[in-house]
Structure 1
Amino acid sequence: MSKLTASQASSHTPETVEVAIIGAGPAGAIAASLLQRQGKSVRVLEKQHFPRFSIGESLLPCCMQFLEEAGMLEAVNGAGFQFKNGAAFRRDGQTTQFNFTDKFTPGPGTTFQVQRAGFDKLLADTAQSQGVEIRYGETVEQIDLDGTPTLTVRNEQGQSYRLEAQYVLDASGFGRVLPKLLGLERPSNLSPRMAIFTHIEDKIDAVDFDRNKILISVHPQQKDIWYWLIPFSNGRCSLGVVAEPQLLAHLEGSLEEKLLAIVKEDPELKALLANASLVQECGTLQGYSVNVTQLATDKFALLGNAGEFLDPVFSSGVTIAMQSASMAVKCVLKQLDGQAVDWQAEYAAPLMQGVDTFRTYVQAWYDGSFQEVIFHPDPNPKIKQMICSILAGYAWDTNNPFVSESSRRLNTVVEICRQSQAEAAEAS
């Protein structure tokens, strides 16, 4: 077949599908599966080939209900991923744990920590086994929203074709295909930060280290620098550090040397990883907090990171991706059925309820106020359960006061913690 340019492709009769999905990651795979299960014709266009590396390796229990909804839970449960039941936070020798089964919101309380290359491929393969068409190595180069949405797609052989879809879902993650093509990108209200990360053979022999939890460590001098340590089932861990770029400016050398140097600045983490060795080249991600001017119309919707990415600190990325997929599909099905959909009221606003809840806690983490709550020596059990629900991913449960009034409730708890600490200091 001869190579077609985009303009030449436009002269040929377009292929058709009910829903086109850009990206085969968790959001795309879940959305495709849910649509396929309802008898809709779907095509997933994925630029890369799986498996491929990605961060976002510590799932939240809320994800499990979406995997079940998509018929993928059995495959995930049987894949041998590292069991996860909570999160541990460490600062200045103090460790606080959140047990995700001890939470306010009903629903799963455990999940997994996963190497995303294998996890994402498993979800995509499961979707394919259900009948979903996934085309790897295909790049969306143009979109025409005049009339029926029409994508111009190019494959790796340089051949282009047009694909008409009654609706388009963008699950392209950090690729952010439609925001770039349609000029929807806008800056985040979060400060720009960078992450340096790798995988290690951890060789951790500390008897008190819990592999069933993600460990988040706070830098001993800079409270807005933090480290993640995510154990996997194969004796390895994902290791990363997150900070504003200027706070890492004193580090010299390669990414590996910078990461190892900043790890050594935390004595506890240094001791924990004393026998560790790197098994993967270090990567970096900068300026990852992004937003858009519009999440959805009657022709397209943005899922997960394609719409907004906050910060990796509470592992919310995959949860938001899956939540957005589930919510968007319900609206798509309604629209394909000929019913009117108010995409702002029925998709964008409800999705942002949970995103903004996570945002409250991300902002409070970096200004230090949420750290005061996390490390308070005598937490109120009921309040801890409500906060634990959010950390477990249930940021859309408006029955939880810390969701429905996230800023006000959190600020109140911060003041209570400060007053309690002040009284304890006076008493001593």
Structure 2
Amino acid sequence: MNHQFDIAVIGAGPSGSVAAALLNKKGFKVCVLEKQHFPRFVIGESLLPHCMEMLEEAGFLAAVEAEPSFQFKNGAAFTWGSRYTYFDFTDKFSDGPGTTFQVRRALFDKILIDEAAKQGVEVRFGHGVTAFDGSGEEAVLSVETDGGETYRLNARFVLDASGYGRVLPRLLDLETPSDLPPRIAHFTHIEDNITNPKFDRNKILITTHPQHRDVWLWTIPFGDNRCSIGVVGTLDKLAGDSETVLKKFALECPMLAEVLENAVWENEFPFRSIQGYSANVKSLYDKRFALLGNASEFLDPVFSSGVTIAMHSAKLAADLLAKQLRGGEADWQREFAEPLMQGVDTFRTYVTGWYDTRFQDAIYAPDRSADISRMISSILAGYAWDTANPFVEKHARRLDALAAMVGRQALV
């Protein structure tokens, strides 16, 4: 094997695949190192329309659109008690696609990295990075295969797209505590058998628990009579085994209990949980590396922002790195970190507002302004970097004003 590349990418998830394909298209020699073998399970199954722009630029869109099990998605629906409301992503403030897909991530991620390999990216599965040295003229990665062999790989630059593995943050002691409280998610896939017309398969359904407004559930339909379903909350409220906790909270929600009346919960897909997933880092970049997607920061699954942030970070990094490797000036703080954090901080405001109920109150308020709905719809569709949107440009102030205007909402 050759061990000399322009760029090494750690991780073959969505951010790694997009970054590798974009840089390969720009003429650079790229190697992706992935510790696992694909397909492999990962959570985060509801994409946002902004993702479609990066998928198209990377050359992946046709392959994604051709997969029949992926469910067309055009919005997000919300329910709390007897309340039900939704946002149509085709009716939004920002330009760009208004539809996307809900996907099984094991298959989705494999499609993306396979397409990158077809384009000429070298992909090495079962190769984990065990050490990083960025002190010289090139970065040096120590790599160990799952067969026990070791080697060193040199690259002019490294992009860490390792997701929850957070390879470089762990190796370089970059991890810092998240400012979001620790939460846990219990989830599974079910045979949903939903025929109830109240359920729109073209939208993710986000359900607020009737008694605990900081506990919510996702219902993500796929294209083959199956759903991903999960519950998210603090460790004290969601203590217990995943099957018991998930069923209990789901069936306590009126709409979910109704639409899932014929669901088959017991199948080959296990009940799972993940906790302590929110994360942060001291720095997003250094002289020889940059962190992409969940390797840098993960907020919360409530608005499905993880894959969107991952792909957006990959696009920013690929464009800037191409300029740098061609001899241009690259300001990673001004041209990567700050633009990326514009969207991350926008999502953070609305995630925080969801859990303290200010954003929930705005979502569930009756008779929403059409203009405000379109601005919120843009954010929920992933356009959290569109500073022409007042709810992006001054996100904290606008959310406070909106919450004050609609007032505290009551369960009905």
Give me the TM-score of the superposition, normalised by structure 2.
Answer: 0.97
Map of 1:335 onto structure 2: 324
Map of 1:211 onto structure 2: 201
| CA contact 1:14–1:162 (8 Å) conserved in 2 | no
Match of 2:296 among 307, 313, 317: 307
| CA contact 1:90–1:218 (8 Å) conserved in 2 | yes
1:70 aligns with 2:58: yes
Structure 2 residues without counterparts, runs of 5 or longer? none
Alignment of 1:6-21 (within 5 A): 15-21=3-9
1:37 aligns with 2:25: yes
| CA contact 1:14–1:161 (8 Å) conserved in 2 | no
Match of 2:10 among 15, 22, 42: 22
1:178 counterpart SS class:
helix
User: For 1:54-101, what per-residue CA distance to the aligned partner results, in whole angstroms no more than 9, with x for missing partners?
Assistant: 111000000000001101111111112110000000001110110000
1:277 aligns with 2:267: no
| CA contact 1:167–1:299 (8 Å) conserved in 2 | yes
Could you tell me how far 1:298 is from its partner in structure 2? 2.6
Map of 1:7 onto structure 2: none
1:244 aligns with 2:231: no
Alignment of 1:20-419 (within 5 A): 20-80=8-68, 81-147=70-136, 148-249=138-239, 252=240, 254-278=241-265, 279=267, 280-418=269-407
Alpha-carbon separation, structure 1, partners of 2:273 and 2:237:
15
Could you tell me how far 1:271 is from its partner in structure 2? 2.2
Structure 1 residues without counterparts, runs of 5 or longer? 1-12, 423-428
Could you tell me how far 1:14 is from its partner in structure 2? 8.5
1:200 counterpart SS class:
strand
Could you tell me how far 1:268 is from its partner in structure 2? 2.4
| CA contact 1:138–1:155 (8 Å) conserved in 2 | yes
| CA contact 2:165–2:295 (8 Å) conserved in 1 | yes
Map of 1:9 onto structure 2: none
Identity of aligned residues (%): 57
Could you tell me how far 1:136 is from its partner in structure 2? 0.2
What stretches of structure 1 move > 4 A for 4+ residues in a row? none
| CA contact 2:50–2:381 (8 Å) conserved in 1 | yes
Give me the TM-score of the superposition, normalised by structure 1.
Answer: 0.93
Alpha-carbon separation, structure 2, partners of 1:201 and 1:374:
29
Q: Higher mean Cα deviation, 367-376 or 336-345?
A: 336-345
Q: How many residues align?
A: 406
Could you tell me how far 1:170 is from its partner in structure 2? 0.3
Which residue type is aligned with residue 186 of structure 1? T
Cα RMSD, aligned residues only: 1.4
| CA contact 1:26–1:123 (8 Å) conserved in 2 | yes
Greater C-alpha radius of gyration: 1
Q: Higher mean Cα deviation, 322-331 or 339-348?
A: 339-348
Which residue type is aligned with residue 78 of structure 1? A
